[in-house]
A = this chain, B = another copy of it.
Amino acid sequence: MKISELSRRTGVPVASIKYFRRQGLLPAGRATAATLAEYGEEHAERLRLIKALTTLGGLSIAATREVLGAVDQARTTEGALGAISYALPVPVASQGGAGEEEEAEAERAAGAEVAELLAALDWRAPAASPHVQGLTTALKELRRLDAQYAPGELAAYAGLAESVARLDLARAECLDDPVALAERAVIVFAICAPVFELLRRLAQEDQVRRRLADGDAGGPPSECGPH
């Protein structure tokens, strides 16, 4: 199929298709002449994946390239899952605070907290893992905002995260073909994160609503269990 038809079938403008090609997100069509190339179903598929990653997953073009690169290099299941996980952007940017001294101190404290958590849960992750780094940064900032997790709270969240991850893995692994598996894994890892976030928001919304209804009788606006 020609580029115009690919465009028509996917709803992506021709100029954007060319752009994705230039950016290395989409392989070139099979050239049949100097100014003519043939595109196949796999191109349409890839285009759908690109759109899903950028719009649903909120990934940048660069991040999408990373992720798709990991998909394309996926030879074994495990390798693919790991590569994809590392290719996804970490959702925290460090910010460079003011003080020098206390900054280092906060960094140490946060790092210790992360290490302790990993040890308690028996999660194995290299200290250089971007996720460990990001978590350390986030905890450091929360500490600076005076909104640390209470003891055990972080572990409670982590336990739930583990359950979620178990569901993710089950969802990602039930395929035989390594290529299909890699693509599925991308979707599960990259696109299902916002879905869970939405579920969490809905759950929050519901609970807030319930609390409002309960408190309607004129009780105190916020009661808080013993802590």
Report the nearest B residue to A216, measured CB to CB.
B78
**A94-147 at interface with B (beta carbon < 8 Å):** 94-98, 118, 121, 123-125, 129, 131-132, 134-135, 137-139, 141-142, 144-145, 147
Contacting residues, chain B, for A188 (C-beta < 8 A): 147
Partner-contacting stretch, out of A22-30, A32-40, A61-69, A204-212: A204-212
Tell which of A51, A184, A202, A207 has the most Cβ of chain B within 10 Å: A202
Min CB gap A41→B, angstroms: 13
Minimum Cβ distance to chain B for residue A146 (Å): 9
A123 touches B91 (CB 8 A): no
Task: With A124-B206, A174-B227 given, name 17 new contacts (CB 8 A).
Answer: A11-B98, A55-B93, A56-B137, A58-B91, A78-B208, A82-B209, A123-B206, A124-B209, A138-B198, A139-B195, A145-B187, A157-B199, A158-B202, A168-B204, A173-B224, A175-B222, A196-B200
Q: Kindly list chain B residues whose C-beta atoms are within 8 Å of the C-beta of A162.
A: 203, 207
Please report the C-alpha to C-alpha distance between residue A174 and residue B142 in the assembled complex, in whole angstroms: 16
**Knowing A10-B98, A194-B138 touch, does A147 contact B187 (C-beta < 8 A)?**
yes
Contact yes or no, B173 A222, CB < 8 A: yes
A141 to B58, CA, bound (A): 13
Q: Is the interface of A mostly helix, strand, loop or mixed?
A: helix
Q: Chain B residues with Cβ under 8 A from A123's Cβ? A: 202-203, 205-206
Q: Are B153 and A55 in contact (CB under 8 A)?
A: no
Q: Is A161 an interface residue (CB 8 A)?
A: yes
Q: Is there an interface contact between A202 and B92, defined as CB atoms closer than 8 Å?
A: no
A90 touches B165 (CB 8 A): no
